[in-house]
Structure 1
Amino acid sequence: MIWTATRDTLPPVPPVPPARRLDASPSGLVGAVELTAAHLDSRVHTVAEFERVLDGLVRQAHRDRHALAAALSTRLGHRYPEEETEADRLTAVDVVVAALLWRVAGYSLGPAYIRRQRGHEDCAQGGLELVVAARVREIGYALRSGAPQPFLLATPTWETGALEADELVGRLAEYRRLGARPGPADFGQALLRVRRDGPAAPAAAAAAERLGTAEGDRLAAWLGPDGEPGTGRRRVVMPDPQAHRAWSRVGAAVPQVAFAHGERPVLRREFPEAFQWLGRPHEGFTRCYHWHGGHAVRAAVLPEDRDVQARWLLPGVTLAATAGDEGDAWMLPHLALLGGPAGPGLHSAIAAGLGGRHPASRRPAVEALLVLAGRGELDAPLLGRELASMVTLGTVKPNRLADAARSAAAAGAYATVWAVLAEVLQALLPSTRGAGEVLAVAAACVERCGATGPAPAEVVAAAARTGSSRIVTEARRLTSALTGPH
């Protein structure tokens, strides 16, 4: 169906990629130590701060490891017991600082020591933390061995965690000049962060190949077919009633949308062990205990694969619609700001979020919808079809959808909300409970945005019925708004 409408008036949102580059790492010893102390004292860790701390410590250690250790001991030594502790008992940055101060057991920094905790195998967020842990322990091991890298390869260009391909080529060239050997985890993280669709990517691939190094060849291949994101197969599943019982998050027994993932052989073949779970086929993650903050650092492991992350998040977001808690919808606005395709996974997660039981759980999905719409990345018909499917399954209740749609429209997205709801109406009519509320929002959006065109057949049929029920009244209002004089 085709309608014409005026454009939305949306609040400003960041461009693609976000215009805010990471500030340079601290250039002096005092600056590096103070930034590290501020990070460790902070309760909210941003990607920018986290990465600048790591790179600053590595650069200072390369210049004068002993001076850095002395300064950290004076400023932060009180944080660590005199006896060595294992790395998995420390936060990410604490691992690096403790390694410099010889307060962490050396064996716990090795790749073989990093394992998923038993019982968390189905948690994608735990898997992302595993990648972060592998990288910081690799850094700590190099510092403890007295052979620190000159700088980190995976430090992002942008605050989302994305890394420009030409910058990585330049860093690899400098490593070659210095005779430095890239850390496997740091280089693996750098590949996962590279902007494959950036304007500099084709030239960067050719430049990487000309380096004549193994890492240059891998980067060139990654900017080609090797780096293509994994595909996801959409399916409808009946949730396991035991899936969330360990975390007291038992959802209603209704069919739900989920995604199964195929294998990515290159991740299993060429990346460190802690990364290899990313390349394994799986039927969808169903168990997750991550309701706390810090998600931005985990999401920055895959800043150019937001659709993949959204597929992993979908079961937790669906809980916001089917269970009594607020689910994991809080992460949706952040995913919307990341890079890579905004595909079916992200649209499915937003759809589930719009049906959240509580207003607080619907709000992040509305924000994510507005971000995508403002950036020209929202596929409104796709989102509408996904909502229609979830309404039919019983995952999304019409009255909750109406409230979320009303909030999005109030932000100025009248044409966008109408384009979404136009796809949903066929699933609501002729008589689904709550259909009148959705029709009312749709009619208000059409009136405000000036959309014109034939009314959907289901709406015309509802408008032709006798009586004065809300469905009939709002169907007539919507039909009149679409076909009447403007």
Structure 2
Amino acid sequence: MTDRTSESISWEETRALIAARIPQGVIDRLRPVPAGALRHLRTPLRKLRTELVRELSSGDRGRYSTAYDQLAALQLAGILAAATPAEALEWLTSRRLLDVTWPRPGGGSSSPDHHTVLLTLLAPHRDAAFHRELAGRLAAWLPARGDAARWLITQGLALRSGAEPPTTDGYVIGWLREGRLMGSHHREIGEWLADQGLREPVPHHHSLLSWLRTQPRLAEFTRRAFEVPDAGAEFTESPSTCGWAESLAVVAAEGLLDRAELIDLCLGRLLRGDRPGNLRGFLRLYAVLALDADEILARAGDHVRLAADGAPGAAKAAQAALVSVAERLPAELFVELTGAVLARPEKGLATVQLGRVDAALRRDPAGADGLLPAVAVAFTHPLAAVQEQALRLVARHLSHAAPAVAGAVRAAAADLGPALRPDAHRLLEIPAPPAEPQSDAPVAAVRVACAELPAAPAGPLDTAERLSALMADRVPDPGEFEVVLAALVAEHHRDAAALRAALAPLAARRAANPDRFPFIREVGGALAVLLDALTGRPQAPRASLAVLLGMPAFMRTLGVVTAVRVHEAACSAVEAPVPLLLATPTAGDGTIDPAVLLDRLAAYRTAGARPSPADLAQALLRVAPPALPAVRAAAAGLGCELPPDVAPPAPRRFHTQTANMPERLNGVGRAAAPVVRIAPCAPEAAPAPEGVTGLLHAVPDPAEYARFVDVPSTPAIELVQFAWVAPWHPEAVAAHGVPGAVFRVDAPGPREPNPLLPRLAEVPGEFGPVCHLLLAYGLTASRAENRTAALDFLLAAGAQGRLRPDLLGGWIAALWRLSVAKPNRVLPVLAEAARAGAGRTTWAVLTAVITESATEPGRRGLADALVLAAECAVAEGIREALPALDALSAAGAPARVRAESARLAAILTG
């Protein structure tokens, strides 16, 4: 082979090698040449990188491909020509060069070969000092989340040069991941180096434990593993494998690690807390370490703090450890543990602790003075079952407490739920307070003032600024959207040149490529099309409008109405500008004052303009039904075609999909797993109209599986516009919102909460069965934000006298029977409603739920519903018959259901 170590190489030859795209060609030519002999290439290489990166942003696919294919060869040339470790690091970690694919000689490409990159760095003319410094710099660069490729290079450099890189977060994460691979026939980088003749042979490890026993910096890395974010996720393996937790415990037992230090590190990490996926790994390590009694007692204070403030799993583990040494635990720590655990919301922790307290007091009644005040903390527990258990425990042992302690505990009983206070008065011998007079007069409905629209933009510049903000908003406010859209149309008619000048900076930031379909149906994308039309760069808005109106049925949602209107405005701006929009609301609930709309129609007549179909149809949907005849007559006088005079659908039939009913075949011809649901059916009537009105009439098919398993057609950016499409017809709007609500029951759903219910509560139309079904779904949504939105709807509708509690309770019971509604979600929201002043409304909802569920007394959560109903009855002074309690008190019902039914019956008849 020809020795080329001293042979010079020109820039032209190097540029040709890079243009040839093959990384190995660059390596073969440049690797034998010392970096000093390549100094003349460094500046041209940096300039070439800038040039190629610029080509990547050209927007031309051919130029992009040509530039991209040269990046890997360029990166290797830069690494080989680097004079210092800092320069080599810059080429290794350049953002646009990270992990670029390597073109193959015969065509195609492959993932980058990082072993080859390492071998390139280990060129014979690079000394150990260069490798040590580069290893340290790379370790410091590694991102905290880890980077497998750069970690491999770092570790290879360190092993070759004897370096000890700093234990940065990224380096430690890489070490943990390397160890986890050892049980999967993985060959570590040291073995590869030995194969290349770059170090002495090393043994192959078949397990993580074997590998750990050979790690020279084991203690150092282990300490850092408890400090690095997300390290706990690397500790999580299935119980059948000997993973990190098991292996660390073994090496600690063998003396390679200090067991006491390992326990302290683990407890400290659990005390600091983290997201569940990370804590799970440290909890596993804690369980595997299996602390003995002396180790637990030596750290009893840490365990008490963990039981008080730790994550639920960690608190449970700490409590179990302390319970195992309860007889040796100092009394003051047991009292502290009891108060701390009972202040937490978890039922399991509370019931276990109350059981241990009961056993302790049976063993030694003298402990009552310390323990009973701690038990009284449970009187404020969110779960009535825990409150009742604590009350009965106190009643059993109160006679052993000093008078002052007993008095304090009796006073604390005032914090018990209303349903348990009569029991507290009897069991603790507390005098009953005088009854307060209760009024049976109905609560007057509250008339809520209609909100106002945002102020209209003041001129072209303000319009442009607010349009920019609107397009950047993830969930644009419908009021802001309406006033900005109206201003764009009006300003274009008034002075198109001035508006174009104001919009020019925003238009300059727009990408040159036309928008694709999934983008043009969103508010931001549709407004971008309008922006192009207003600034003289129309992107075929008429074609986009046809696409939107011709979508398949499963994508025909009310959110498209907004996009259709914007595209129609773009068409008008290009073809025949109109003086103003007809459909802009006049109030903050999406409605239009009929008198204002008549004035707008008169302005059209004066200007000789014809209304756009979608604009006119939307305007008519926003007018109160009694005023429609006069408005339609005025519109007909303009000579335009009116949408059909057909009332929007108000479904009265519902489809129930159970777990035993087969779904329709999905798009690939496979039977789909059933999505249990209740959804409204479209009324059987004449075919739906065309255009905007047709979109409202196209109620989603309740048997169409695809509408309920995902929400591509109903993201929050569209849902927020639904209510204002037809503010006088909330039943039709709610029917379009049900698929998204069904999806949000079990799936985490989009990051943004469902905005439909809060908007729907503001509209003036009548709430019927579909709105109440939508509310029932909202009350059991998986995200707390969506349940809070449902609570706001319930309170607002109840205050306005527009809520039908019997209807809502019936839907909750129906969803409960299908196991769709989760009592641990619904009942806390109803309890919050009662605390917010809607006690009688909550009572009415619960009586419907209880009545509908009486035939299934064993249904989970029914006892908790009875407890909440009892609290409402006590708080509101309700004394009325509830026949369903007879069935729930029968012998076949579960014991707790019978007990709570009897308590509620006693309250109602007392």
TM-score in terms of structure 2 length:
0.45
1:40-439 residue pairs with structure 2 within 5 A? 40-73=471-504, 75-81=505-511, 89-90=519-520, 91-106=525-540, 108-109=542-543, 111-115=545-549, 121-123=553-555, 126-145=556-575, 147-196=576-625, 201-202=626-627, 205-206=629-630, 208-209=632-633, 213=637, 218=642, 222=645, 226-238=646-658, 253=674, 255-262=676-683, 265=686, 268=689, 271-272=690-691, 275-280=693-698, 283-284=701-702, 286-287=707-708, 288-289=711-712, 290-321=714-745, 323-325=746-748, 331-357=756-782, 359-429=784-854, 430-439=857-866
Supply the AA of the counterpart residue of 1:279: H
Most deviating of 394-403 and 181-190: 394-403
Q: Find the counterpart in structure 2 of residue 459 from structure 1.
A: 885
159-168 or 456-465: bigger deviation: 456-465
Select 2:466's aligned residue among 26, 35, 38. 35
Alignment RMSD (CA, Å): 3.6
Contact 1:8 1:414 in 2 (8 A): no
- Label 1:432 to 1:227 Cα distance change in 2 as closer, same or farther (>3 A): closer
5+ long unaligned stretches in structure 2: 1-437
Q: Deviations over 1:56-107 (max 9, x none)?
A: 111111111122112211x313222456666874512222111112223236
Q: Name the SS of the counterpart of 1:80 in structure 2.
A: coil
Q: Which amino acid aligns with 1:169?
A: L
Number of residue-to-residue matches in the alignment: 455
Once the two structures are TM-superposed, the CA of residue 54 in structure 1 deviates from its matched residue by 1.0
Residue 58 of structure 2 corresponds to: none
Shift of 1:402: 2.4
Secondary structure of the residue that 2:495 maps to in structure 1?
Answer: helix
Q: Cα deviations across residues 127-148 of structure 1 (Å, max 9, x unaligned)?
A: 2233222211111122123x31
Q: Give the drift of 1:5.
A: 4.6
**What is aligned with 2:452?**
21
Alpha-carbon shift at residue 344 of structure 1 (Å): 0.3
How much does 1:424 deviate? 1.3
* Secondary structure of the corresponding residue to residue 451 of structure 1: coil
* Matched AA of 2:871: A
**SS at 1:114 equivalent:** helix
Q: Is the 8 A contact 2:468 2:506 kept in 1?
A: yes
User: Residue 908 of structure 2 corresponds to which residue in structure 1?
Assistant: 482
Counterpart CA distance in 1 for 2:589 and 2:760 is 9
Scaled by the length of structure 1, the TM-score of the pair is: 0.81
- Provide the secondary structure at the position in 1 that maps to 2:586: coil
CA distance in 1, matches of 2:656, 2:893: 37
Q: Does the 8 Å contact 2:867/2:900 carry over to 1?
A: yes
Could you tell me how far 1:175 is from its partner in structure 2? 1.0
Task: Report if aligned partners of 2:559, 2:719 keep a CA contact under 8 Å in 1.
Answer: no
Partner residue of 2:158? none
- Cα distance in 1 for residues equivalent to 2:735 and 2:538: 36
| Structure 1 unaligned spans of 5+ | none
Asked whether the equivalents of residues 399 and 437 of structure 1 are also in contact (C-alpha less than 8 Å), the reply is no
Task: Check 1:30–1:422 CA distance in 2 against 1; reply closer, same or farther (3 A cut).
Answer: same
Comparing both structures, which one devotes a greater share of its residues to helix? Answer: 2
CA distance 1:158–1:5, change in 2 (3 Å): same
Deviation at 1:266, TM superposition (A): 8.2
Give the CA deviation at 1:242. Answer: 7.1
Secondary structure in 2 matching 1:364: helix
Distance, in Å, in 1 between the alignment partners of 2:538 and 2:562 is 17
Identical aligned pairs, as a percentage?
30
Task: Answer with 1 or 2: which has the greater Rg.
Answer: 2
CA distance in 2, matches of 1:408, 1:229: 31
What secondary structure does 1:127 align onto? coil
Q: Aligned letter for 1:233?
A: R
Contact map agreement 1:326 1:356 (CA 8 A) in 2: no
Higher relative contact order (CA 8 A, sep 6+): 1
Q: Does 1:472 align with 2:898?
A: yes
How far 1:372 sits from its partner (Å)?
1.1
By how many angstroms is 1:351 displaced?
A: 1.7
Q: Which residue of 1 aligns with 2:240?
A: none
2:874 to 447, 456, 473: 447
**In 2, Cα distance between the equivalents of 1:266 and 1:175?**
31
CA distance in 2, matches of 1:320, 1:114: 26
The offset of 1:9, in angstroms, is: 10
Aligned partner letter, 2:624: R
Query: How far does residue 375 in structure 1 lie from its aligned partner after superposition?
Result: 1.4
Q: CA deviation at 1:230?
A: 4.0
